Amino acid sequence: MVDQSSAEKLTVFYDGACPTCIRDRRTYEKLAGTQNNVCWVDITGAEAQLREAGIDARKALTELHVQDGAGNIFSEIDAYRLLMARVPLLKPIGWLIGLPLVRPVLSRLYHWWVHRRLTHDGRL
C-alpha cells in the first residue's frame, strides 16, 4: 500500500442507503476530528460519478472504494487501511487488517457480510 499524507484529500465512495455504513462514517469523522480531509460521496444514484472515477457501480455497492488526491483508486481492505492510517487510534487496526494471515480471512468475512446485507435489503 502506498504511504499517504494525512493532509492529502481522500474521496470515499460509500453506500448511503446502508445504516451501518452511515454509522461507520459518523464514527470515523468523530475519531478523525478537525484534521479530517475526506470527501464522502454517497454512491446511491451516482453512477455517472462512479464511471468518471473508473469504478464499476456493482463493485462500489459491494466494496468500499477510496480515491486519493492523485486519482488512485483503492478498494476493499486497502481502502479501509488508507482511511485508518489517518487516524492515530485506528492506525494499528489498519496495520493489523493488512497482515498476510488476517487479510484474506477478513476479506472473505467482509464479502459474506456485504452480500448478506444487500440480499436481505433486496438490492442484490
Instruction: Give the pLDDT confidence of 33-91 residue by residue, as tens digits.
Output: 877 789 999 999 899 999 999 999 999 999 999 999 999 999 999 999 999 999 999 99
Tally of domains in the chain? 1
In a domain, 2, yes or no: no
3-7, 73-77, 83-87, 112-116: which range is least confident on average?
Answer: 3-7
pLDDT tops 50 at residue 1? no
pLDDT of residue 36: 76
pLDDT tops 60 at residue 103? yes
In a domain, 53, yes or no: yes
The model carries a pTM of 0.86
In a domain, 3, yes or no: no
pLDDT of residue 7: 64
pLDDT tops 60 at residue 97? yes
In a domain, 4, yes or no: no
In a domain, 78, yes or no: yes
Cα separation, 36 vs 90, whole angstroms: 13
Helix%, strand%, coil% for the chain, nearest 5: 50, 15, 35
In a domain, 66, yes or no: yes
Order of strands across the sheet that contains 65-67: 38-42, 10-14, 65-67, 73-75
In a domain, 59, yes or no: yes
Q: What percent of the chain has pLDDT over 90?
A: 85
In a domain, 29, yes or no: yes
Q: Which domain holds residue 99?
A: 10-120
pLDDT of residue 5: 52
Q: Tell me whether strands 10-14 and 65-67 are parallel, antiparallel or unpaired.
A: antiparallel
